[in-house]
Structure 1
């Protein structure tokens, strides 16, 4: 198991309007560790969460973990419905996304695991961005910064010929303001992030990001 998380063989995932993209990301992440995605259940934040949790119970008897991926919406309706079913609990792990953290910490987050970027690495970029543009950047700013920096680095070191499959898919990856990352042959990416558990309304570090793949 990785970072204190139970071995995940089946998993239920909910998403908002961009459910297909989120499903692909979750399935890709699971495949790296040999796990499978049992079912994806799109939901509307306006339905109160009860229906999608009921649907999950009828389709998946005993998931090892449940991912609530809500995009920019609030996860609390689904979390409340899950809590009524005893999730998270000893048998089922609750997994959130770093977009939960764009909102104030809610008591319903308690017990969930979340992987998010290391603020000690993204902080300098965020501070410079805010000083220049007078508002707090979101995570996409850091990702965009890293892509520009990576492109400039490859061009400087190897010129136009450096933009090839061998360079971009090297297994050691690259390090940027978002930490360590690499590109896989299927077009997806893999990132090393610190792993946290929500305890008493705060993020408690479970495992630091790895220094290499």
Structure 2
């Protein structure tokens, strides 16, 4: 982790916090970084009380780790991968003075509230987690009453607030970065073809704001449904307006982009004339092979940290981590670094919102006072079926705007 004016040199602290260099790649993940849990409310496993949970570590500083360990479906898979990553972070941080109080929220708001209460009763100074947005809201109510901060994993910025910091991959970051880069490359008129989903509504709003911020023009915005007929209809409405556009924002995920790309291709869309743009959901091998968006740009964490992390995780747990696992790794590494260097102010607002930010497994990041996260992202290009970096992620985030 990297902090401003710390007693340890930055290089030593970064090595301690991150347990040697980490970078991001997608060999062990499914899909990109945008649209991860946060818009989905999750679902709880039926029946039973929230178990007391285990502890990890034996340090003086206690931190709650609230995760959906027994939620139904994918929630439990993600939750347990996050727990493993938290354990790995603590093991890799030399002399970490933390005890993690692991609590199962079962993927429900009620479970999250009970889990947070239990962690705070046991002396937690900070809550790491939960994962799902409704659970974050429930845990935040408890934490505010105890004047304790939360570092949660939801990507829904609506649940961020003062003292509730989202360590996640919000799609707004992706949109801002790719629109800014496209604008810097001379693109001034933008069209958009967005999914008619909760994710689509978020990225559409971010797209409109980002285009306006750059003094550019939004020519047309079309929405498409999940079926191919809806895709074809939306594309047919869109294509005539593309004569006035020099970029097309189309944030369609891996399960949608091949069919949508075919519809664009059949309608005569030419990516050599109108630059395709996307978000981190494009960071997938199947998307990279779609002919209609070759040459397209998208924003995502730099492709150099996750692979190193995933290799160590695989060796330790004999399984591949979920894509969100780095979030718990970074959260625990940050908590351990702050416990070592910041004394009684370790989890204060001024420390957590340090404008210099921190160096994590997915690159540099910082928390805003309103709880939202800003990340340093790379711009990548789909080139001949491969994903290549065309503009590297920044090493620092510069002054706040």
- Shorter-chain TM band: 0.7 to 0.9
**1:127 counterpart SS class:** helix
Is residue 315 of structure 2 the alignment partner of residue 135 of structure 1?
no
CA distance, structure 2, for counterparts of residue 137 and residue 144 of structure 1 = 11
TM-score, structure 2 as length reference: 0.45
Once the two structures are superposed, the pairs formed by residues 141-152 of structure 1 within 5 Å of their partners are: 141-152=325-336
CA distance, structure 2, for counterparts of residue 17 and residue 197 of structure 1 = 25
How far off its partner does 1:126 sit? 0.9
In the other structure, the counterpart of 1:163 is 347
Task: Say which structure, 1 or 2, has more relative contact order (CA 8 Å, 6+ apart).
Answer: 2
Contact 1:110 1:201 in 2 (8 A): yes
Residue by residue, what CA displacement relative to the aligned partner does 1:54-86 show, whole Å, maximum 9, x if unpaired? 343577773442222234633122222233342
CA distance, structure 1, for counterparts of residue 208 and residue 373 of structure 2 = 12
CA distance, structure 2, for counterparts of residue 203 and residue 86 of structure 1 = 21
In the other structure, the counterpart of 2:181 is 2
In the other structure, the counterpart of 1:47 is 228
In the other structure, the counterpart of 1:15 is 195
How far off its partner does 1:204 sit? 3.0
Aligned with 1:77 (options 259, 277, 282): 259
In the other structure, the counterpart of 2:247 is 65
Q: Structure 1 residues 16 and 123 mapped into 2: Cα distance closer, same or farther (>3 Å)?
A: farther
Residue by residue, what CA displacement relative to the aligned partner does 1:150-203 show, whole Å, maximum 9, x if unpaired? 233234333563434433333322110101122335543322223222222222
RMSD of aligned alpha carbons: 3.3
Please, which moves more after superposition, 124-133 or 154-163?
154-163
Contact 1:115 1:194 in 2 (8 A): yes
Gaps of at least 5 residues in structure 1 are: none
Residue by residue, what CA displacement relative to the aligned partner does 1:115-158 show, whole Å, maximum 9, x if unpaired? 33333322221112223343333431123322232233234333
CA distance, structure 2, for counterparts of residue 187 and residue 36 of structure 1 = 30
Contact 2:302 2:392 in 1 (8 A): no
Point out the structure with max Rg over C-alpha: 2
How far off its partner does 1:12 sit? 1.4
**2:321 counterpart SS class:** coil
Q: Structure 1 residues 168 and 112 mapped into 2: Cα distance closer, same or farther (>3 Å)?
A: same
In the other structure, the counterpart of 1:122 is 306
Q: Structure 1 residues 159 and 33 mapped into 2: Cα distance closer, same or farther (>3 Å)?
A: farther
Contact 1:15 1:22 in 2 (8 A): no
In the other structure, the counterpart of 2:272 is 89
Gaps of at least 5 residues in structure 2 are: 1-179
Aligned with 1:56 (options 212, 218, 238): 238
Q: Structure 1 residues 80 and 158 mapped into 2: Cα distance closer, same or farther (>3 Å)?
A: same
TM-score, structure 1 as length reference: 0.77
